[in-house]
Amino acid sequence: MEENTELSKEFLVEQTDLSTRLDLWLHQRMPDTSRGILGKWIKQGHILVNAAKTKATHKPKSGDRITVKEPKPRPMQLTPIDLPLSILFEDSDLLVINKPPGLVVHPAVGHEQGTLVHALLHHCKGQLSGIGRVARPGIVHRLDQDTSG
């Protein structure tokens, strides 16, 4: 396990907490972290039970000490690009745009540059929130590349 952690949490399992898988048990105590992320951290050794690696299916026992060492977000490897945006609303927490058809939202294979993410990074001066412990802009949308709206 890498030691580039930014936050460490420790839990002590009580008698009333039994009969639940480790990933579910942790998700109940860390609802802002998805079960998928917790499972990944368990596999990577960022989550230990009594200082030992374990599996997501492990059922914690009374007295177990569970340590969660959240990995630091991976740095974003994106360059802001000045692209025109049709902004419908903007405040300090929310930006609503009218996405034109043909504009890809997130960078992907074959669409590494010129995406909505690149345009938003330029518009917001790089100040976009991350998702899933990855320092990547958190865009909430249901629009495919060829869809407008």
Domains in the chain and their CATH numbers? 5-71 (3.10.290.10), 73-149 (3.30.2350.10)
Regions of the chain short of the pLDDT cut 50: 1-4
pLDDT digits (tens, 9 = 90+) for 52-85: 999 999 999 999 999 999 887 666 678 889 999 9
| 105 neighbors 143 (Cβ within 8 angstroms) | yes
- Which residues belong to the active site? 144
Positive or negative CA dihedral for 48, 54, 56, 59? negative
pTM equals 0.54
Q: Measure the CA–CA gap between 19 and 17, rounded to whole angstroms.
A: 7
